[in-house]
Structure 1
């Protein structure tokens, strides 16, 4: 197609309400289904070094390595064990903060310890468009397509299975703490559970506090490694737009960093990718103080 005609067509489609999201949904759904039909998940790459194995789970000695739920992950990313023997392994606090948009469980599945991420919808105060496209599976397929593109990166936990009927993803479970949790251990009030009693769960001032605390503390220790991860993801056409300290995990065994959330990532080949890539770089600069000119690759 003539480039000028294509640009005019793209601009026209943008004016149609919901067309941009609908086109993205179609693209990521096709990409995911094609990967499944090509049996991409039959390949079994080794887990990243900080991934948990069945032998690490205390209750496996008693109940065996068969498929079952091991723990629930709450809104702040803390785990709560199902079996009493696993409490010392998983639990790091007593109070659980319910999740809002999806359910996260640590499960044993086909010989792997996985996070099962099951998409359930949007919070009540979300926009009508967000509810609609969540119902149609935009965030589920978006994350599946992103993880399939990034499956060979050492800084992203491996996706092991995609269950279309229940809209569930199975991803290797990496044990550690997020950069946000690390700030909270220093006494910063940055977790959802800190703000929920005040009715400030979506307090915009929290972002500023997190960014400033990170810059004054751990920023210099992690900045270069975050940049390496971002450039590697961008090189594969993935630009996460949910950029925050809570989406960067520090592996417990090695101290390596992992990016762990892709439901709102921009993917190359979908509408307005270049604009969203620029937005991604602005967010990375804001949160981590990184400048990524030239598309980040």
Structure 2
């Protein structure tokens, strides 16, 4: 096909409602299936240093290391133990905030302690496009493809398994505190459980409060490490668009930083990647005060 005609056709298709999402879904689904066929998940890279091991779990001494659910993770990322012996290990508060878009559990699985993430849909008040994307599995396949690209990075928990039929991911469980939790401990009302009784779960001022509190509370101490993580992810063609303090975790054992949650990441090779990469850099600058090149060069 004539190059000019092809470009015109591509531009025309981009203007068709939903075409970008459909093209991205096809791309990330193919990438994920190809990785499964290549048996990429049969490889067993070492967990990151802050990953929890079965020997860390108190109830293992009583029940053994067999596969089972250990704890539920709520909307704010706090864990609630299933077995009474594990309550001191997991529980950090008494009230649970139900999750909205997926179910998260900490599980023992094939000798690893994993977060099991099962995608279930969108909140009732989400836009129709988000409901359709969830129904078709875009967020699941997008996160799977991103985690597979990032599996060798020391700053991203390892993906261990995935189930296509149930749209479930299994990723090493890193125990620690998010940067958002740090801000909340200093008295800022930034957690979902703080805002839900007020009917302000989607409070537009929350981001501003988090950003200002993080910057005034010594956030610059993390800036160098966050920049390294962002550059490493970008070098592998991954640009998370859900940039926030709650997606950066401080490992409890070493204090290393880890980036989690890639369901809304932009991936190189999918529509509008360069545009979304620039958006990602703008968000990183807004949240962490980091100036990164808009052209994606690491």
Residue of structure 2 in register with 1:109 after alignment: 109
SS in 2 for 1:209: helix
Residue of structure 1 in register with 2:147 after alignment: 147
Q: CA contact under 8 A between 1:230 and 1:296: conserved in structure 2?
A: no
Residue of structure 2 in register with 1:31 after alignment: 31
Deviation at 1:22, TM superposition (A): 0.4
Rounded Cα–Cα distance in structure 1 between residues aligned with 2:107 and 2:265: 25
Residue of structure 1 in register with 2:207 after alignment: 207
Q: 1:121 to 1:291 in 2, by over 3 A?
A: same
Rounded Cα–Cα distance in structure 2 between residues aligned with 1:142 and 1:192: 25
Give a deviation string over 1:249-291, Cα, whole Å, max 9, x none. Answer: 0000000000001000000000110001001001001000011
Deviation at 1:187, TM superposition (A): 1.1
CA RMSD of aligned residues (A): 0.9
Aligned residues: 297
Residue of structure 2 in register with 1:90 after alignment: 90
Rounded Cα–Cα distance in structure 2 between residues aligned with 1:2 and 1:208: 49
Rounded Cα–Cα distance in structure 2 between residues aligned with 1:171 and 1:52: 11
Q: What TM-score comes out, normalization by structure 1 length?
A: 0.98
Residue of structure 2 in register with 1:230 after alignment: 230
Rounded Cα–Cα distance in structure 1 between residues aligned with 2:27 and 2:168: 19
Deviation at 1:6, TM superposition (A): 3.9
Rounded Cα–Cα distance in structure 2 between residues aligned with 1:145 and 1:125: 27
Residue of structure 2 in register with 1:272 after alignment: 272
Is there any run of 5+ residues in structure 2 with no aligned partner, and where?
A: none
Per mean C-alpha deviation after superposition, the further-off stretch among 10-19 and 76-85 is 10-19
Deviation at 1:9, TM superposition (A): 2.3
Q: CA contact under 8 A between 1:150 and 1:236: conserved in structure 2?
A: yes
Q: CA contact under 8 A between 1:50 and 1:251: conserved in structure 2?
A: yes
Q: 1:169 to 1:125 in 2, by over 3 A?
A: same
1:295 aligned onto 2:296: yes
Residue of structure 2 in register with 1:64 after alignment: 64
Q: What TM-score comes out, normalization by structure 2 length?
A: 0.98
1:118 aligned onto 2:118: yes
Residue of structure 2 in register with 1:74 after alignment: 74
